[in-house]
Amino acid sequence: MSSDTLSAFVAGAEDHHASVHRSAPDAVAGTVADLIDPPAVGVRLPDELDLPEGVATDPTPAELDAANTGISAARLAIADYGTVVLESDAAGSEAVSLFPERHVAVVRAGDVVPGMREAMAALGDRLRDGASEVLATGPSATADMGDLVIGAHGPRDVEIVLVEDRDE
């Protein structure tokens, strides 16, 4: 992925009240650990990326309720908007990314696409195969209570770990 696209992604995320933390693959566990407000729940990451110690994978509803941080993988990211595309999968990524006040999303630099059109093109066949995705941009928000409030039903804090291979 071009460095232009990646810097656009960082800027897009920041515009939407999210932060991006760049990390090498073998440093992901450490980077995520720094972003956790415990207790944390998470979904096992793909591609042999590690979660830090102390993150409850396979969470129960009780753990989900108690968690301050949820960690999940993003399948794709959209540079223009700083959006992460979260997958609704059998591992419970949807709940993990939605209930806790802080969401840490892990996305590979190679999965960052420039714009909405590229994202939809990349998702089309997967959706036709039956997958479900959430384009998540920044924290949840509402203006229904008389003023803009960050953090409504979903997280109020979004941290994105951008995983860059050395040759990327």
Q: Could you tell me the smallest distance in angstroms from the CB atom of residue 53 to other proteins?
A: 17
Of 143 and 167, which CB lies nearer to other proteins in the complex structure?
Answer: 143
SS3 call for 12: helix
Which residue, 141, 55, 41, 52, is CA-closest to 93?
41
Quick one: which H or E segment has residue 113? strand 112-113
* Region from 3-11, 27-35, 67-75, 160-168 binding other proteins, contact rule CB under 8 A: 67-75
Per CB under 8 A, 132 contacts other proteins: yes
**Contact between 142 and 36 (Cβ < 8 Å):** no
CA atoms within 13 A on the CB side of 62: 0
Which residues ranging from 100 to 129 are in contact with other proteins (CB under 8 A)? 116-117, 119-121, 123-124, 126-129
SS3 call for 3: helix
Per CB under 8 A, 53 contacts other proteins: no
Per CB under 8 A, 91 contacts other proteins: yes
Per CB under 8 A, 29 contacts other proteins: no
Per CB under 8 A, 14 contacts other proteins: no
Contacts of 160 (CB under 8 A, 6+ apart): 13, 18, 19, 20, 21, 74, 77, 82, 84, 104, 105, 106, 107
SS3 call for 28: helix
Per CB under 8 A, 36 contacts other proteins: no
**Contact between 23 and 97 (Cβ < 8 Å):** no
Per CB under 8 A, 37 contacts other proteins: no
Of 24 and 116, which CB lies nearer to other proteins in the complex structure?
Answer: 116
Which residues ranging from 139 to 158 are in contact with other proteins (CB under 8 A)? 139-149, 151-155
Q: Which of 98, 104, 161, 163 binds other proteins (CB under 8 A)?
A: 98
Contacts with other proteins, residue ranges (CB under 8 A): 16, 43-46, 58-62, 64-65, 72-73, 75, 81, 83, 87-95, 98, 116-117, 119-121, 123-124, 126-149, 151-155
